[in-house]
Amino acid sequence: MGNERAKSVLIVAADTIAAAAKGATLQEFGYSTLMAAGAEEALYLLKYAPSVDLVLMDTDAGVDGVDGIDAAMALQRERRVPVVFQSDSSDRGLLERMASVDSFGFVDKDASDEALAATIYIAFQRQSAERKAREDCLRKMLAAIPDIISINNPEAVYAF
């Protein structure tokens, strides 16, 4: 158990002071953290730091007309990584835009440290459950291949 590495959270926020505080909080809860000031830096880190397990995305983190939601979409096109949004706003338009991203949660920027940690924990639990479901599905499909081949055309089975 001592060889397990801490889950890594990439914090994407325009406010580097607030991001550092969130990072310190998450480190207290046992996570390792990386920081990015915007989408471009986050994409770079995802590409060259494959150990990133989750992204905590500030909806305001963006440059040149790209906000955190746009950045999250770009990150997920690059690599399937869980995204938890953080914002100080929860207006309907923002929530509808967040729904366009396969997000793993939302936490208010002013939420307690415990609420932030709980949201991150739940996101990791969802990621683990989805991974297990995909693996189970693949295992079942692979196990069914011999039955499918023998039922459809037994003479079509050749040794390779």
Strand ordering across the sheet containing 54-58: 32-36, 8-12, 54-58, 83-87, 103-108
**Torsion sign over Cα 91, 93, 95, 97:** negative
pTM passes above 0.85: no
Closest of 12, 105, 97 to residue 63, by C-alpha? 12
pLDDT at 160: 45
Ranges of each domain in the chain = 8-130
Tens of pLDDT, residue by residue over 67-90, are 888 888 888 888 888 999 998 877
Architecture of the structural domain at 8-130? 3-Layer(aba) Sandwich (3.40)
- Give the DSSP H or E segment for 71: helix 68-78
Dihedrals phi, psi of 141, to nearest 5 degrees: -65, -45
- Give the DSSP H or E segment for 108: strand 103-108
How many helices and strands (H and E) does the chain possess?
5, 5
Tens of pLDDT, residue by residue over 134-159, are 888 888 877 777 666 555 555 555 54
